[in-house]
Structure 1
Amino acid sequence: MASKAFRWIIVIGGIAFFSWWFFKKSVSRFLENSLSVQVVNKLPQELDLYTIKVNSSGENLHIVNHLGNIRKEHFRIEYLNVKNSNEYWIMGFDAHKKLVYFSQHSILNKNEDQKVELRSTFIQSQKLAEIGKKEISEYLSHLNDYSIWVTFDLLLLFLNLVLLLKKETSKSKH
């Protein structure tokens, strides 16, 4: 009986943790010090876009956000927390994962939202683009590991919940 109570505590704790985590991941973008950046793809091809926020202090000097695949004549809005930052980069990859766009943007006024239109394939700085590629590859590697662990944890949580809620039919038959 103690093991069943312990499993209930673990399941309830897991559900509470993942509820908090999903809420935090989806709402944390709308903060007080957020800068909204609208990225418009005017190129004739779909681009896989990333933003890299460059922090002036702290552990993580580069924070990567994946905007997703943006089709021609479509846009995406990204909210960047610019409390410790005065600069961000936008990087675009084509369907073959080749870097076709890199631009560096300074944040002059943190209260004024920005709009960036991608009109041509453009790499503003090859040196910074290489740093950005390295950061994005590390981000994707970390994201793959992270998604495996989250999927595994949610599967175990679901299995434990099903086993705890399952009626004991084998005992009632005997």
Structure 2
Amino acid sequence: MKDIIFSEWQFVTVFFTMIAVLAMIIGRYPRKTTFISGILAFFFNLAAVSFLIYLNTFPDQSQPDATSTSREEEEVDIEDRLNEVYEDNKYRTANKELVAIVEPINENGNMTSHVYVKNFHQTWAFHGEVRVAIYDENNEIIHEEIFDISLDSGETKQIDSDFGNPHFDWFRYAFYPEEN
């Protein structure tokens, strides 16, 4: 929550509030009306910008394109895939040191979806929950689950070895630290 309210994008809130107040001053509204409307404009803009920031801090991932690399037949390096997702999301998410992936794996001719998580932070451990969901091409949830996890700093863990349909279009994850 602090990452949303104290984001550098909140300067947009101040900018729009200043425009609203300036427009009321130019329009020669009474000072009381300008003051009250300025405060209301600030809170309205704060809520709107915070909502947009929240939508962008919940990362979504696309499944690797099977036609170009044929990942079903190749040995997948999970650490490389986790690093790829980390690099893609480290400037977009609130919990940028925590990454989850859903990876389709071919085991003896059987396709299954495995879920992996990693804590990229060098000193802090994570204790809490991760919500993982896979979606089809119509952006509808195929499977969704919440896992209780504990990760030491730098630790990678497989948390599920049969996460539903391996033929999904994209996945999304969100980490929730346990409350003290």
The TM-score, its normalising length taken from structure 2, stands at 0.30
TM-score by length of 1: 0.31
* Structure ranking higher in helix proportion: 1
Q: RCO (CA 8 Å, sep 6+): is it higher in 1 or 2?
A: 1
